[in-house]
Amino acid sequence: MTVSSLSKIILGVKNIVVEKVEIEECNLDSQLIISARPHKRDMCRCSVCGQKSPRYDCGNGIRRWRAPDFGTGLKVYVEAEAPRVCCPEHGVVVQQFPWARRHSKFTRNFEDTVIWLSLHLSRKAVAEYLRISWDTVGPIISRVEKELSANNQPLDNLVNIGIDETSYKKGHKYITVIVNHDTNAVVWAAKGHGKTVLEPFFKQLDVKQRSKIRLVSGDGARWIKDTV
């Protein structure tokens, strides 16, 4: 296996060009820096709509995104130039990157790990385990929620699903999350909890999608039982 292939596995994306991989010493700590760029066909795409757009300028230069750790705790970052493009619809915006969501300093697979861990651990525990600041967990959850609600494809072919609620903002705010047990993917999320939050999930499914669901797991809360 080449270093480039290994880097793509770490970043969770195939269609990129890995230019360089090196170890950087930082405050007595080592970190792995993967310099990469999107494939030519994915360069200069608007980060809002994905449309190919003319390059505007070089933006703020080189950007870094934190990726999942390698081995027993080597921090990994992907680094790339982040030019701005001029989208006919969305104006001047930073170009899209296949490994990260818009406005994020983390890779997609890192954020997906945050979501999964948030279903099982407190925000403090998630932040400590992943070595991130506790106040980045909430924005990550919001970003993934936004993406999922804009794309309802994951709602096809649900058979075994899990419903869970998790809190953020010191336990004052809740988010309800639906997981597809067969793919281990978060397929839907919404702010709040309770029947009024969960009902729209089932209402947006068509008859065919609903009839495929065979198993629903949850913590036994009355609002989950009643809605299901």
Site residues (vs Zn ion, CB under 5 A): 46, 48-49, 51, 87, 89-90
Task: Please report how close the Cβ of residue 53 comes to Zn ion at its closest, in angstroms.
Answer: 7
Task: Please report how close the Cβ of residue 55 comes to Zn ion at its closest, in angstroms.
Answer: 14
Nearer Cβ to Zn ion (102/181) = 102
Nearer Cβ to Zn ion (50/192) = 50
Task: Please report how close the Cβ of residue 84 comes to Zn ion at its closest, in angstroms.
Answer: 12
Please give the Cα distance from 53 to 27 (Å, whole number).
40
Task: Please report how close the Cβ of residue 92 comes to Zn ion at its closest, in angstroms.
Answer: 10
Question: What is the greatest pairwise CA distance in the chain?
Answer: 58
Bridge partners, 16 (sequence order):
38
Please give the Cα distance from 8 to 109 (Å, whole number).
11
Q: Where are the beta strands (DSSP E) in 82-155?
A: 84-87, 91-94
Nearer Cβ to Zn ion (17/48) = 48
| 203 membership: H or E segment, kind and range | helix 195-204
Q: How many CA atoms lie within 13 A of 11 on its CB side?
A: 30
Whose tokens are 């839907």? That residue is 188
Q: Which of 97, 93, 56 is nearest to 78 (CA)?
A: 97
Nearer Cβ to Zn ion (43/221) = 43
**Residue 212, helix vs strand vs coil:** helix
Task: Please report how close the Cβ of residue 101 comes to Zn ion at its closest, in angstroms.
Answer: 15
Nearer Cβ to Zn ion (89/199) = 89
